[in-house]
Amino acid sequence: MKEVPYYINKPDNILPEGLTDSILRSNDPLEYHQSLKNYTVTPLLELNELAKSFGVKNIFVKDESYRFGLNAFKGLGASFAISRILEKDPDIETFCSATDGNHGRAVAWSAKLFGKKSKIFVPKDTTKARIEAIEKEGAVVEKVDANYDETCEFAKKKSRENGWQLVQDTASQNYEEIPAYIKAGYFTHFKELEDSLHNLPKPKVDLVFLQTGVGSWPAAAAWYYLNRYGIIRPKIVLVEPIEAAGILASFKKGERTKPQGNFKTMMAGLNCGIPSLTAWEILKHSADASIAIEDTFTAKAIRKLYYPTGDDKRVISGESGAGGLAGFIALMTNPQFRNLKEALNINSDSRLLFYSTEGDTDPENFKNIIRLNS
Ligand SMILES: Cc1ncc(COP(=O)(O)O)c(C=O)c1O
In what side-by-side order are the strands of the sheet with 140-143?
Answer: 140-143, 117-122, 94-98, 165-166
Catalytic status, residue 100:
yes
Q: Which atom of ligand 1 is nearest to the CA of 210?
A: 4
Residue-wise DSSP of 179-210: HHHHHHHHHHHHHTTTTTTT-SSS-S-SEEEE
- Please write the tens of the pLDDT for every residue from 85-115: 999 999 999 999 999 889 999 999 999 999 9
| Residue 232 clears pLDDT 90, i.e. is over it | yes
| Residue 373 clears pLDDT 80, i.e. is over it | no
Neighbours of 200 (CB within 10 A): 8
Under DSSP, is residue 241 helix (H, G, I), strand (E, B) or coil? strand
> Sign of dihedral through CA atoms 330, 170, 67, 62?
positive
| Residue 196 clears pLDDT 60, i.e. is over it | yes
Instruction: Specify burial of residue 109 (Cβ count, 10 A radius: 0-12, 13-18, 19+).
Output: buried
- Please write the tens of the pLDDT for every residue from 41-52: 999 999 999 999
pLDDT number for residue 374: 57
Nearest CA to ligand 1 atom 4: 211
Q: Using CA atoms, how far apart are residues 165 and 95, in angstroms rounded to an integer?
A: 5
pLDDT number for residue 98: 96
Out of 63, 100, 312, 360, which one is annotated catalytic? Answer: 100
Q: Using CA atoms, how far apart are residues 183 and 190, in angstroms rounded to an integer?
A: 12
| Cα angle for residues 255, 277, 220 (degrees, 5° grid) | 110
Q: 270 C-alpha to center of ligand 1: Å?
A: 6
Contacting residues for 243 by C-beta, under 8 A, at least 6 apart: 259, 261, 262, 263, 264, 265, 271
Nearest CA to ligand 1 atom 15: 269
Identify the residue with better confidence: 1 or 282: 282
| Residue 272 clears pLDDT 90, i.e. is over it | yes
Structural domains present in the chain:
6-72+179-371 (3.40.50.1100), 75-168 (3.40.50.1100)
Ligand 1 touching residue 239 (CB < 6 A): no
pLDDT number for residue 17: 97
Q: 212 C-alpha to center of ligand 1: Å?
A: 6
The pLDDT > 70 percentage for the chain reads: 99
Q: Using CA atoms, how far apart are residues 143 and 108, in angstroms rounded to an integer?
A: 15
| Residue 84 clears pLDDT 70, i.e. is over it | yes
Ligand 1 touching residue 226 (CB < 6 A): no
Q: Using CA atoms, how far apart are residues 44 and 46, in angstroms rounded to an integer?
A: 7
Under DSSP, is residue 25 helix (H, G, I), strand (E, B) or coil? helix
Catalytic status, residue 74:
yes
Contacting residues for 327 by C-beta, under 8 A, at least 6 apart: 209, 211, 237, 239, 291, 293, 297
Q: Compute the average pLDDT of residues 1-8.
A: 85
Q: Compute the average pLDDT of residues 156-166.
A: 98
Q: 214 C-alpha to center of ligand 1: Å?
A: 7
Q: Which atom of ligand 1 is nearest to the CA of 211?
A: 4
Give the chain's mean pLDDT: 97
Query: Long-range contacts made by residues 191-200, C-beta under 8 angstroms, separation at least 24?
Result: 191/28, 191/30, 192/30, 192/41, 192/42, 192/62, 193/44, 193/62, 196/44, 197/44, 197/60, 197/353, 198/228, 200/228
Q: Which residues pair with 165 in a beta bridge?
A: 95
Nearest CA to ligand 1 atom 9: 213
Q: 20 C-alpha to center of ligand 1: Å?
A: 19
Read off the pLDDT band of 2 (50, 70, 90): low
